[in-house]
Amino acid sequence: MLRAALVGFGSSGKTTLFQLMTSAKETGRAAHGKGDVSIGISKVPDARLDRLTAMYNPRKRVPATVEFTDLAMPAGTGGAAALVDVVAYKNADALVHVVRAFEDPAVPHPGGAIDPARDAQAMEDELILADLGLVERRLERLDKDLKKNRSADLERERDVILLCKTALEEGRPLRALDLKGDDLKRLRGFQFLSAKPLLIVVNLDESHLAGGIDRAIDRTGLTPFLSRASTAAVAVCAKIELEIAQLEAADAAAFLKDLGLTESGLDRVIRATYDLLGYMSFFTVGEDECRAWSIARQTPAQLAAAEIHSDIARGFIRAEVVGYDALVGRGSMAACREHGEVRLEGKDYVVQDGDIINFRFAT
């Protein structure tokens, strides 16, 4: 499951967005989570799963999920430094920075004037500082370990950490580093905050929507920031979209249309997160359950099987695969079989978006 963690300055709309994404009705109370940390689950909207469910009429329809974490962050500088010790932030696949663009005299901004570009950079600086702290702790430990036991692996780790240190000292986030193979794995293992892909959620006023939501982002001054590596943006009007999300479906659709929006805030934020991380879905179908699974693009079949269960990956024999369009076009798996459209693929087959897969495995 994909995990996203919310960051942002006070009163930017983090908790409002969290509620929008997870339908958590109350503030400050979590389904589970410690202290001020709230963790909630979003169901990934997917029209293809709806279609498959209509075809199979299964007992259960199980969408893919994204886990969101919200934390009441200490205001001002140092807010991010506390995050490096919060498990849900260390483990997150992506950071979602809620940047305030809405004006509301009743809700003062801790930084004074409303300035999305300033806030984006200020949070970046905090993440970088927090990671520098981690790097220094790590280096001390490594130096001690290296004195006891010089190994090639430790030496390489030290090289990578030093590379990170240089980048951070120059004000560059680690997501911009171009590491490969084992070095990239090492970097992931360190769980640095500035190494995580960054989705900027621009929290707008309704009035900003005139002329289209995409143009609204251009007007915030964030464009140069967004050209950086592994950085993307999506705009929401968190407060009003949360109100809309609590309406009946037909009313909600009408209100969204009035705002010039074709999709809900939940849909847009999840789609942007998937695009940023290069995620896609495959499906398992049957009378018992139709289910969507999320994986990174370029995932081989055996690793995709592990998403379901490690036993299926371990005992992997073959993947029976049919494309979504073929299945929906023919109307049944049997018809696809008759037309030779169900393929038997090996463990290295690269799973495609929308594949319907039945894993054959030995127990």
Ligand X SMILES: Nc1nc2c(ncn2[C@@H]2O[C@H](COP(=O)(O)OP(=O)(O)O)[C@@H](O)[C@H]2O)c(=O)[nH]1
Which residues are at the interface with ligand X (CB under 6 A)? 8, 10-16, 98, 102, 104, 107, 203, 237-239
Beta strands in the chain (DSSP E): 2-7, 37-43, 60-62, 65-71, 94-100, 198-203, 231-236, 279-284, 289-296, 316-322, 343-345, 356-361
State which residue, 14 or 291, has the beta carbon closest to Mg ion.
Answer: 14
How many other CB atoms are found less than 10 A from the CB of residue 100?
Answer: 25
- The nearest distance, CB 109 to ligand X, in angstroms, is 10
Over its C-alpha atoms, the chain yields an Rg (Å, rounded) of 23
Query: What whole-number distance in Å separates Cα of residue 304 and Cα of residue 298?
Result: 10
State which residue, 29 or 180, has the beta carbon closest to ligand X.
Answer: 29
Indicate which of ligand X, Mg ion, none lies near residue 301 (CB less than 5 to 8 Å, by partner kind). Answer: none
State which residue, 30 or 356, has the beta carbon closest to Mg ion.
Answer: 30
Give first-to-last CA distance, the chain, whole Å. 24
Query: What whole-number distance in Å separates Cα of residue 212 and Cα of residue 246?
Result: 23
State which residue, 135 or 213, has the beta carbon closest to ligand X.
Answer: 213
Q: Which residue has the tokens 């690793």?
A: 303
How many other CB atoms are found less than 10 A from the CB of residue 327?
Answer: 24
**Amino acid at site 42:** S
Query: What whole-number distance in Å separates Cα of residue 323 and Cα of residue 98?
Result: 37
Query: What whole-number distance in Å separates Cα of residue 6 and Cα of residue 33?
Result: 14
Indicate which of ligand X, Mg ion, none lies near residue 69 (CB less than 5 to 8 Å, by partner kind). Answer: none
State which residue, 73 or 292, has the beta carbon closest to Mg ion.
Answer: 73
- Contact criterion met (CB below 8 Å) for 45 and 65: no
Lookup: tokens for 142? 């490594």
**Binding to Mg ion, residues 276-305 (CB under 5 A):** none
State which residue, 28 or 224, has the beta carbon closest to Mg ion.
Answer: 28
Window 12-51: contact mask with Mg ion (x via CB under 5 A) = --xx------------------------------------
Indicate which of Mg ion, ligand X, none lies near residue 107 (CB less than 5 to 8 Å, by partner kind). Answer: ligand X
- The nearest distance, CB 15 to Mg ion, in angstroms, is 3
Indicate which of ligand X, Mg ion, none lies near residue 12 (CB less than 5 to 8 Å, by partner kind). Answer: ligand X
Indicate which of ligand X, Mg ion, none lies near residue 299 (CB less than 5 to 8 Å, by partner kind). Answer: none
Query: Within 13 A of 8's CA, how many CA atoms are on the CB side?
Result: 27
Task: Report the DSSP beta bridge partners of residue 202.
Answer: 99, 235
Indicate which of Mg ion, ligand X, none lies near residue 175 (CB less than 5 to 8 Å, by partner kind). Answer: none
- Contact criterion met (CB below 8 Å) for 96 and 5: yes
**Amino acid at site 287:** E
State which residue, 74 or 323, has the beta carbon closest to Mg ion.
Answer: 74
- The nearest distance, CB 283 to Mg ion, in angstroms, is 35
- The nearest distance, CB 13 to ligand X, in angstroms, is 3
- The nearest distance, CB 237 to ligand X, in angstroms, is 5
- The nearest distance, CB 140 to ligand X, in angstroms, is 34
Beta strands in 166-303 (DSSP E): 198-203, 231-236, 279-284, 289-296
State which residue, 26 or 287, has the beta carbon closest to Mg ion.
Answer: 26
- The nearest distance, CB 72 to ligand X, in angstroms, is 7
Indicate which of ligand X, Mg ion, none lies near residue 10 (CB less than 5 to 8 Å, by partner kind). Answer: ligand X
- The nearest distance, CB 67 to Mg ion, in angstroms, is 17
Q: How many residues bind Mg ion (CB under 5 A)?
A: 2
Indicate which of Mg ion, ligand X, none lies near residue 238 (CB less than 5 to 8 Å, by partner kind). Answer: ligand X
Task: Give contact residues for Mg ion (rule: CB under 5 A).
Answer: 14-15
